[in-house]
Chain A
């Protein structure tokens, strides 16, 4: 049960766009569309931002979007705002060995 691979940190200025990658294998991201993204502010619980690779739950800004190509999923945040500064985690469902869920290591987004 190996973690998905994310960059440790990304940064951008207000108004810019950034993309966070999440690389898995053909047993998880590559084989399923069940990719989700979570935002976590310091000391807070995670919040679901994207599910089904690219769908947004009600109430999540349309500045957040998701995509997938092969074994890599991506989260793009456009029009960066100060409140977007947080940790972001990708997640995938997989049935490799037994059914389970795997998170990425997390990416710290800094808004400059």
Chain B
């Protein structure tokens, strides 16, 4: 079945870095764009980044622009989020999501938790 599984979350100090991964299965990953979305504890959803199926376009939320980098490896069906200069306000559950018809997020992973704290 169509599935996304995130990994790489953990506890990191402010200013540190972390790389999240998302393994895709059950569909032709290279044909679809993908997103990262996060949810701070007790808060709502916040869109973080998008990458087109062929990496030709990458877009970021203002809150992470210049610090986070989205990338993918279509040969391995993997999506990544490199997070640098982490701040306490980056603490959240991070979800990867598959793109539907460019504008929608139709399949979501279960999320991985990132905690930024000293």
Main secondary structure on A side of the interface with B: strand
A51 and B104 form a contact (CB under 8 A)? yes
Give the number of chain A interface residues (Cβ < 8 Å): 27
The count of A-to-B residue pairs whose CB atoms sit within 8 angstroms is: 67
Q: How would you classify the secondary structure of chain B's contact residues: helix, strand, loop or mixed?
A: strand
| Max count, chain A CB within 10 A of own CB: residue among B44, B50, B63 | B44
Residues of chain A within 8 A (CB-CB) of B101 are: 51-52
**Docked complex Cα distance between A34 and B109 (Å):** 22
Residues of B within 8 Å of A1, CB to CB, are 61-63
User: Which A residues contact B (CB, under 8 angstroms)?
Assistant: 1, 3, 34, 36, 38, 40, 44-48, 51-52, 57, 87, 89, 91, 93, 98-106
Chain B contacts to A: CB under 8 angstroms? 35, 37, 44-47, 50, 57, 59-63, 95, 100-101, 103-106, 108-111
Given contacts A51-B100, A91-B105, list 18 more A-B pairs with CB under 8 A.
A1-B62, A34-B104, A36-B103, A36-B105, A45-B108, A45-B109, A46-B37, A46-B95, A46-B105, A47-B108, A57-B106, A91-B104, A99-B57, A100-B59, A100-B61, A101-B47, A105-B44, A106-B45
